[in-house]
Each structure stands twice: as structure tokens, then as C-alpha cells.
Amino acid sequence: MQSESSGVPADGGTPSAPGVRLRQARERRGDSIAEVARALKLAPRQVDALERGDYDALPGPAFVRGFMRNYARYLNLDPDPLVADTSAGLERLRVDLSPVTNADGDLPSAAGRRRARKSAGAAALLAGVLVAALLLGWYFDGFETTPSLPVVAEPQAQQLRIQPQVIETPVPQAIMAPAAEPAPVSSTPDAEMPPTVEGEAAAEASVPTEAAAPAPDASPAAAEPAEATGRLVFGFDTQSWIEVRDASGRIIYAGTNQPGTTRTVQGQAPFALVVGNARAVRLEHGGTPVDLVPHIRGSIARLTVN
């Protein structure tokens, strides 16, 4: 390999280019691009772009280096020189892009630069205003909806507390009246029985209302299952970026995870997931494994977990 790369610039068309070395090693093995793509879990066009050095057709520098390293290992090549040459090619590509933007036009004048700066400043200001408006709208929407819950519950609780007091106060009076009257006349107990019945009826009427008073306690108990949280556990065999949204659509986790690590995320289901390098990620929901393969497009899985 060193004899091929000495004195030869490492561009996409020379034998020392990383992609050319990969293609030559693949052809010596007798593998097709489709076979390599299946083994690396890439699209055939991505493998072809690696061999041609067409890095613009790939997601980004970090992905290009990762693809190059995996391809080299698949072909039993030392990945470090290939990755180093690829990084150098990416740096040259980044440097060479800047002159091309002015190749077709005149050099910008001072007035043109001022206009460009003003336009950029106006665009940044407009973007800031739009972001601030969205944040304020989201904040006030949440602020207006949350107070409505206690306002509905308080009048019911007050009414239920007042009703036992109104019903219980006549009960002692109904009981006291027959206790004072039986002494003078012996024939009056028959006539006095109805008040005692009314007193008993009032006492009996108070029992259902008192029994009905604990009814508001049932509503918090019934609401508890809705607040139960779901638990997701991710395991990573390679570097992977994930995003997790809860039932309200709020992002509760987003980040890049290293190989050999796990990540636990808790929130209110259902969850909306975006998983990069999904074929090398394991997922469990509530202790039950979740198969990501049916949801993978390219190398990214998008799915909803209830």
C-alpha cells in the first residue's frame, strides 16, 4: 500500500485514493457492491460513493469516516491510514469550496459587503423574532390551560362539605321535641310518633349524603393510571444518536450515545422515537424487547411505542 501512495496525490481518481484502494481490495475478494452494502448495512449507492470519493453524496464527515473504517475492517485492511487519507480529503474539500463561490462574479465592493451584512443581520433578527413568538405562544398556551383544573374541582368540594352541615343541624331538634312532651299526657305518643319518624327519616337522609361525601376521593384515584410513566432502555453496539418525545410531543431526551453503553428514558407513553444506526441498537419498553428492524429506512428507525 505504501508503494502505491508514495508520490501520488490522494484524489478520487488516483490509485492511492482511499476509495480506489477499497475497490481494488473488494474486487480481489470477488465481492459485489450489493454484497458489501448488505454486510455493512448501507445502501449500495453509499458504498459506490465511498469508492468514488464522492463524499458530498454521504451524510457528513463523521459518517464518512465511520463508513470508511467499517469498510476497511470488512476487507481486513488497516483502517487508520484510510481514515487519515479520507480526513485529509475532507479538509481539502472544505478549503476548496470557498473560492468557487466567487469564481463567476466580481469581487464584492465595500457597499456590497455592507448590504450583505445588513441582509444577514435582518435575517437573523427576523429569525429571532419568530423563535421568540413561538416560545411565547407555547408558554402562554400552557399557562392558560393549567389553572382551569382546580377551578372546577373546588366548588364541588365546597358543596359536598356544606350539605352534611345543613342536614345534620335539624336532627337534634327533631329528637329533643318528643323527649319533652310524653310526660303530661299519656295519649299523645300516637300523635307524636310522626315527628320521631321524621327525625329518623332525617337521620336516614343524612346517612346517604355523608356516604356520598367521599366521592371526590375516587377521582384522584381514577386519574392516577393516566400519570403512570413508561420506561425505555436503549443498548448501543455502536455510536448512535436518538431522540425521544413523550405523549405531549415534548422532547425528553436527544443525544449521541457511545458503543457499549445503555440509556434509560422515562416519561408518559406513547413515545415517538428516532434512532440512528438502528441496526446496532437494542430497545426494551417496560422490560419487553422492541424490534426496530421493520421501522428502519436507510440506517434510521422512526416509530411510536405505546
Tell me the C-alpha to C-alpha distance, in Å, between residue 235 and each of 92, 95, 107, 243, 302. Answer: 36, 38, 53, 14, 17
* pLDDT at 98 > cutoff 50: no
Distance CA 142, CA 74 (A): 52
82: its cell numbers: 484510510
* pLDDT at 37 > cutoff 80: yes
Task: Tell me the three state secondary structure of residue 259.
Answer: coil
HSE-CB of 106 using CA atoms within 13 angstroms: 5
Distance CA 262, CA 63 (A): 21
- Average confidence (pLDDT) over 262-270: 95
Fold of 228-305: Immunoglobulin-like (2.60.40)
CATH of region 12-97: 1.10.260.40
Higher local confidence (pLDDT), 189 or 296: 296
Tell me the C-alpha to C-alpha distance, in Å, between residue 140 and each of 47, 57, 146, 149. Answer: 50, 43, 10, 16
Q: Is the peptide bond before 214 cis (omega within 30 degrees of 0)?
A: no
Mean confidence (pLDDT) of the chain: 72
Longest dimension (CA), the chain: 134
237: its cell numbers: 453496539
What pLDDT does residue 24 have?
95
* pLDDT at 203 > cutoff 80: no
User: Which residue type sits at 305?
Assistant: V
Domain ranges of the chain: 12-97, 164-212, 228-305
Tell me the C-alpha to C-alpha distance, in Å, between residue 39 and each of 5, 188, 224. Answer: 28, 105, 48
Closest CA to 266 of 296, 305, 293: 305
